[in-house]
């Protein structure tokens, strides 16, 4: 049965609903609340965390990706490639990137097991599927999948409703940004069954030229409830098509060609319809160019979860989740003036009669097909002074990667058949954990969380990187196993009803990503592998909670051993390359406050002040004047930097939120300040993101009609004060040492400019 048919069935079944009691609704709600006990921190858990309510999520679900909402919490920064918060969106927490942030939904890991990142546009409009979110900063509690090395985001799907209801939503705004969504819940059918479904489309031209986004998604939930048992099937996912915007733009190109310019898919042609300006010998030059229309990333992802919750009695609750995720994707690229030898062509084609490498324009595809399946299980025991949760998980992931050429200028189709690279991955990830919280005296609670995690990672075949004529395409041969023991201990003390103090110490360990293994071929010494990372996390905090005022302060010290950090070098896909550094740390203070000034006005603020350092750092860049063991050709220019600043780690992140409510009207003003950041691990002003302060305004008015439970008309004004800024970027350096031992270093910096003032209007009808 299709999703649309199920929607119609649910609507028709409304009239056949069996009356149910308030106890049924309450029991269903409670059963769904305990589904994610295993990955959530509570009010007494000694973990720095923030909760986002369903109301906070709903008012931001016009079409923006989830990182834009998570940026409301302390120490969090959202970044975006297209400039408007839709499409290639990511985030950093306490300076750590997305590969070190564990993301789960209903306890199931959403991080890609290979890259360790969560690609938000691969699950379009996930924000409309989510019921609640919790952000844990630091090591967090035991979780499933990739380890939390800087933080964790725990999400739940929207709870099933015992009442018939529906929602229709439309959005439209700047840069042809639009969203259409419809959602329908059947309510409780026959006293035991309930259905919930949603269909969504999101589209945008993007602020960046050709930064288009076309996202189609669905969500379907079916639940069976009887007494203390709930069985729920959840399926969500969609199809994403986005123009490739992962390569940034230089400041020089922005000055000459505008802030919306980027060169992905660009090629030079004598009769091109577009102009490209550049400087040569101090004079402005103009070239005519065109763009390949299908320079796109295409991805289909389907997530399926079967959740069982069983409440045995007032003390025991059991949870089990089986899951399977399917993904298939590819991106197409126009590459001009490419060396054919780097695509596996035989010498007869790759070299001319003079032995020179033949170059040609071409269109290439990079493809992948992945399968991820597994099982999570946990049990919770709770009495008045003692809580115990224990369980484990196992998952298996496989993903072949391969490349095909669609077209090569000057070659017939029969000359370009076959795959120019082909490799495969197998990964197993398993863990066992036990977590206990014990109130040993009035106000004093002890906490312990012990996790054992096993990872087996294998990758083999031929990668897409050309090494040399002798080696050919880069061979991959990785076979690694990791055994991690991650303890977390702490205590909390409640002084009266309003004051709470806590302290915790945790150890977290994490395996390298796929690119940490495969993309070192050009830069690292021969036959070296990255090592796993280790974090020692100390957290000390205090919270004050009163009816109208809440305050929080958290001190953290995160000491790393062999942290993998970006070094200022990139692979051919513009992703940062990482190297292990023996000693590094992050330390800081997080402050938060919320004051209900009046019934109609609440003011909230948070700020993080931090130091992020590498100790005894050796700065290395490729030196094209030195011979060495870098792809058999070049050596390094090295500089001992001593203690230096970690890349992408601002000293200050601060935010202010003003929330006005009066009857059906609401106005929420959010301002965030982020101090300057550097692309590399030293303070090089040629490769930095300048400090910025951005304000967004969210307006809404909700009213009732006879035909609808509520109608909300909303308007979001982003970048209210028209700030010119870049939220992300990347860069690398290269050196040349001449025969007189004089070294000249060249820096390359690229940026992702964000949109000026832009708006998005929305109307949402609930019935």
Model confidence band, residue 355 (pLDDT cutoffs 50, 70, 90): very high
Joined tokens for residue 762: 């929305």
Helix (H) or strand (E) run with residue 349 in it: helix 347-350
264 or 7, which is more confident: 264
- Report whether pLDDT(506) > 60: yes
3-class state of residue 28 by DSSP = helix
State how beta strands 101-105 and 151-157 pair.
parallel
| Strand, helix or coil for residue 493 | strand
Q: Could you report the per-residue pLDDT of 137-168, keeping only the tens digit for each?
A: 999 888 887 777 889 999 999 888 888 999 99
Task: For strands 576-598 and 549-570, give the pairing.
Answer: antiparallel
Task: Write out pLDDT tens, residues 171-181.
Answer: 999 999 999 99
Q: In this structure, what is the dihedral angle of CA atoms 751, 752, 755, 756, given to the nearest 10 degrees?
A: -20
For residues 605 and 591, give the distance between their C-alpha atoms in angstroms, rounded to a whole number: 8
Task: Report the SS3 class of residue 292.
Answer: coil
pLDDT at 615: 95
Give the pLDDT band of residue 4 (cuts 50, 70, 90). Answer: very low
Q: Which residues contact 52 (CB under 8 A, 6 or more apart)?
A: 69, 70, 72, 73, 132, 133, 134, 135
CA angle 295, 297, 303 (to 5 degrees): 165
Check residue 235 and give its pLDDT. Answer: 97
For the residues 270-278, what does the mean pLDDT come to? 93
* The pLDDT of residue 345: 93
Tokens 């040349």 label which residue?
A: 736
Q: Name the one residue in this structure whose structure tokens are 């004047």.
A: 625
Give residue-wise pLDDT tens across range 43-68: 889 999 999 988 888 877 777 889 98
Longest dimension (CA), the chain: 90
Confidence band, pLDDT 50/70/90 cuts, at residue 621: confident
The pLDDT of residue 409: 95
Sequence-separated contacts (24+) of 356-362 with Cβ below 8 Å: 360/408, 360/409, 360/410, 360/411, 361/267, 361/334, 361/335, 361/336, 361/337, 361/408, 361/409, 362/334, 362/335, 362/338, 362/405, 362/406, 362/407, 362/408, 362/409
User: How many other CB atoms sit within 10 Å of the CB of residue 201?
Assistant: 16
Tokens of residue 178, six digits: 């639009």
Q: Residue 650: phi, psi to the nearest 5?
A: -70, 145
pLDDT score for 205? 96
Is the separation of the CB atoms in 334 and 361 below 8 Å?
yes
Select the CATH number that applies to the domain covering 3-244+295-550 from these four: 2.40.170.20, 2.40.70.10, 3.40.50.620, 3.40.50.9100: 2.40.170.20
The pLDDT value given to residue 122: 85
Q: Is 414 helix (H, G, I), strand (E, B) or coil?
A: helix
For 88-130, the pLDDT digits (tens) are: 889 999 999 999 999 999 999 999 999 999 988 888 888 888 8
| pLDDT of 549 higher than 90 | yes
CA distances to 74, 97, 549, 629 from 135, in Å: 9, 14, 21, 43
What is the predicted pLDDT for the residue at 635?
76
Between these two residues, 567 and 325, which has the higher pLDDT value?
325
The secondary structure of residue 741, as a DSSP letter, is: S
Residues 6+ apart with CB under 8 A from 26: none
Q: What pLDDT is stored for residue 18 in this prediction?
A: 44
Length of the chain: 767
Q: Are 405 and 420 in contact (CB under 8 A)?
A: yes
CA-based torsion, 709, 713, 719, 720: positive or negative: negative
Q: pLDDT averaged over the chain?
A: 90
174: three-class secondary structure by DSSP: helix
Give yes or no for residue 358 having a pLDDT over 60.
yes
Nearest in space to 109 (alpha carbons), one of 305, 385, 242: 305
pTM over 0.85: yes
DSSP code, position 65: -
The tokens describing 341, both together, are 């030898």
Measured CA distances, 703 to 168, 394, 676 (Å) = 15, 48, 43
Half-sphere exposure of 534 (CA within 13 A, CB side): 13
What's the pLDDT band for 21 if we cut at 50, 70, 90?
low
Residue 96, strand partner residues: 93
Q: What is the pLDDT of residue 574?
A: 57
∠ CA 399-66-295, nearest 5°, is 55
Measured in degrees and rounded to the nearest 5, phi and psi for residue 523 equal -120, -40
Cα–Cα distance between 305 and 236 in angstroms, integer? 9
CA distances from 631 to 351, 516, 627, 637 (A): 20, 16, 10, 15
The Cα 498–Cα 416 span in angstroms is: 71
pLDDT band at 13 (very low <50, low <70, confident <90, very high): very low
Is residue 283 within 8 Å of 351, Cβ to Cβ? no
Per the DSSP assignment, residues forming a β-bridge with 656 are: 605, 671
Find the radius of gyration of the CA atoms of the chain. 27
Distances from the Cα of 69 to the Cαs of 127, 161, 267, 644, 762, in angstroms?
Answer: 9, 24, 37, 32, 17
In the chain, the percentage of residues whose pLDDT exceeds 90 is 72
Closest CA to 458 of 476, 484, 483, 472: 476
Q: Tokens 């951005």 label which residue?
A: 694
């Amino acid at each position: 049965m299709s999703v649309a048919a199920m929607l119609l069935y649910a609507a028709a079944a409304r009239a056949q609903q069996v009356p149910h009691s308030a106890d049924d609704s309450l029991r269903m709600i409670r059963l769904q609340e305990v589904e994610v006990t295993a990955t959530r921190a509570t009010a007494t858990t000694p973990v720095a965390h923030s909760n986002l309510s369903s109301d906070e999520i709903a008012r931001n679900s016009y079409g923006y990706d989830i990182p834009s909402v998570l940026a409301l919490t302390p120490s969090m920064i959202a970044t975006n490639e297209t400039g408007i918060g839709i499409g290639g969106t990511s985030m950093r927490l306490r300076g750590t990137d997305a590969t070190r942030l564990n993301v789960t939904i209903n306890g199931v890991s959403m991080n890609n097991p290979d890259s360790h990142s969560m690609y938000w546009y691969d699950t379009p409009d996930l924000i409309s599927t989510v019921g609640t979110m919790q952000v844990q900063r630091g090591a967090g509690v035991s979780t499933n999948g990739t380890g939390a090395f800087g933080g964790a985001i725990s999400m739940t799907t929207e709870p099933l409703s015992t009442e018939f209801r529906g929602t229709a939503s439309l959005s439209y705004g700047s840069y042809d940004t639009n969203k259409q969504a419809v959602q329908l819940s059947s309510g409780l059918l026959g006293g035991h069954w309930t259905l919930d479904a949603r269909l969504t489309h999101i589209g945008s031209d993007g602020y960046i030229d050709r930064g288009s986004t076309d996202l189609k998604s669905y969500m379907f939930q079916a639940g069976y409830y009887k007494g203390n048992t709930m069985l729920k099937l959840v399926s969500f996912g969609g199809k994403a098509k986005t123009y490739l915007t992962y390569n940034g733009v230089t400041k020089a190109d922005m000055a000459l060609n505008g802030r919306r310019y980027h060169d992905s898919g660009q090629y030079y042609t004598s009769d091109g319809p577009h102009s490209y300006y550049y400087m040569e010998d101090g004079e402005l030059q103009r070239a005519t160019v065109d763009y390949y229309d299908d320079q796109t990333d295409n991805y289909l992802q389907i997530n399926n979860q079967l959740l069982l919750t069983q409440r045995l009695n007032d003390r025991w609750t059991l949870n089990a989740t089986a899951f399977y995720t399917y993904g298939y994707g590819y991106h197409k690229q126009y590459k001009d003036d490419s060396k054919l030898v780097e695509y596996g062509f035989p010498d007869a084609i790759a070299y001319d009669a003079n032995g020179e490498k033949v170059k040609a324009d071409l269109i290439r595809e990079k493809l992948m097909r992945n399968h991820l399946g597994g099982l999570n299980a946990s049990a919770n025991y709770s009495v008045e002074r003692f809580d115990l949760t224990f369980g484990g998980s196992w998952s298996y992931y496989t993903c072949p990667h391969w490349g095909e050429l669609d077209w090569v200028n000057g070659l017939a189709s029969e000359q370009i058949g076959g795959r120019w690279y082909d490799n495969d991955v197998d990964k197993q990830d398993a863990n066992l954990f036990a977590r206990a919280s014990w109130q040993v005296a009035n106000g004093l609670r002890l906490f312990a969380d012990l996790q054992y995690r096993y990872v087996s990672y294998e990758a083999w075949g031929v990668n897409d990187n050309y090494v040399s004529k002798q080696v050919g395409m880069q061979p991959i041969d990785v076979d690694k196993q990791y055994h991690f023991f991650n303890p977390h201990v702490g205590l909390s003390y409640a002084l009266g009803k309003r004051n709470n103090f806590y302290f915790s110490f945790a150890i977290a360990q994490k395996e390298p990503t796929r690119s940490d293994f495969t993309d070192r071929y050009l830069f690292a010494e021969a036959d070296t592998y990255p090592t796993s990372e280790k974090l020692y996390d100390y957290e000390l905090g205090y919270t004050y909670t009163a009816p109208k005022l809440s305050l929080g302060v958290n001190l953290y010290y995160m000491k790393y051993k062999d942290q993998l950090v970006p070094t200022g070098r990139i692979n051919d896909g513009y992703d940062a390359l990482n190297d292990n550094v023996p000693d590094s740390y992050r330390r800081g203070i997080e402050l938060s406050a919320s004051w209900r000034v009046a019934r109609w006005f609440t003011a909230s603020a948070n700020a993080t002040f931090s130091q992020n350092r590498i100790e005894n750092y050796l700065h290395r860049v490729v030196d094209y004047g030195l011979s060495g063991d870098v792809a058999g050709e070049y050596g390094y220019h090295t500089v001992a930097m001593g203690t230096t600043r970690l890349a992408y780690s601002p000293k200050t992140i601060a935010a202010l939120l003003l929330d006005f409510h009066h009857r059906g009207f609401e106005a929420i003003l959010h301002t965030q300040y982020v101090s300057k950041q550097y692309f590399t691990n030293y303070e090089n002003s040629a490769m930095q993101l300048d400090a910025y302060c951005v304000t967004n305004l969210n307006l809404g008015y909700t009213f009732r009609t006879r035909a609808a439970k509520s109608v909300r008309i909303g308007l979001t004004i982003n970048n209210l004060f028209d700030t010119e800024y870049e939220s992300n970027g990347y860069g690398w350096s290269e050196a040349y040492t001449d025969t007189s031992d004089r070294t000249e270093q060249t820096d390359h910096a690229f940026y992702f400019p964000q949109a000026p003032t832009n708006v998005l209007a929305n109307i949402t009808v609930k019935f």
